[in-house]
Amino acid sequence: MFNTPFHDMRVNAFLMWDPKSRKAIAFDTGADCRSMLDRVAKEKLAVKLILLTHAHTDHIADLARLKRNRRACLYFGARVHSRRRNDFRRSRIQCWQFEGESIANLGHSRGGMTFFVTGLARPVAIVGDSIFAGSMGGGNVSYKRRAAK
């Protein structure tokens, strides 16, 4: 986990990798991905996949730097942005030892995603800002939608 400051708050980004192949998955960039890239270099990793939980600036602020000189597929919102476009609202994910699924999670932002990953010592859910430690998270979209009814 990489925790970086963004204005008056902090934002998390995550990195997981296969220790045998050294292939890695990055989840979001945070406000500054330099510490993530330092870890990539230290562990001699190849970032092959970038998964974004949502498009708010604090989670994608350093996307250009993370993508630079990497041949990584970028999954963003409900669509994959690479050479082909697929529906990604609910899909199985299988990368090296990791398995899991992407689940559309539209309460915090349009195109928001949760990534549930297994194949580790314990399963992990990368939720972006849909859940905060000790609270329900930011329900920006769902709150507006509910209040309008």
pLDDT of the residue at 86: 43
Looking at residues 129-142, what average pLDDT do you find? Answer: 62
Tens digits of residue pLDDT in 68-115 = 877 787 766 544 444 444 445 556 666 666 777 777 776 667 677 888
Paired residues of 101 in beta bridges:
92, 116
Alpha helices (runs of H) in 7-139, residue ranges in sequence order = 34-43, 57-60, 63-67
From the list 37, 53, 26, 51, the residue with the least C-alpha distance to 111 is: 53
What's CA 72's distance to the chain center, in Å? 13
Model pTM score: 0.78
Stronger pLDDT, 67 or 139, i.e. the higher one: 67
77 C-beta neighbours (distance < 10 Å), count: 19
- What whole-number distance in Å separates Cα of residue 124 and Cα of residue 115? 8
Domain count, the chain: 1
* CATH number of the domain that residue 31 is part of: 3.60.15.10
The answer to whether 36 and 29 have CB atoms below 8 angstroms apart is: yes
From the list 7, 91, 108, the residue with the least C-alpha distance to 51 is: 91
Name the residue range of residue 51's domain: 2-148
Tens digits of residue pLDDT in 2-58 = 988 889 888 889 999 988 999 999 999 989 999 999 999 999 999 988 888 888 888
pLDDT of the residue at 45: 95
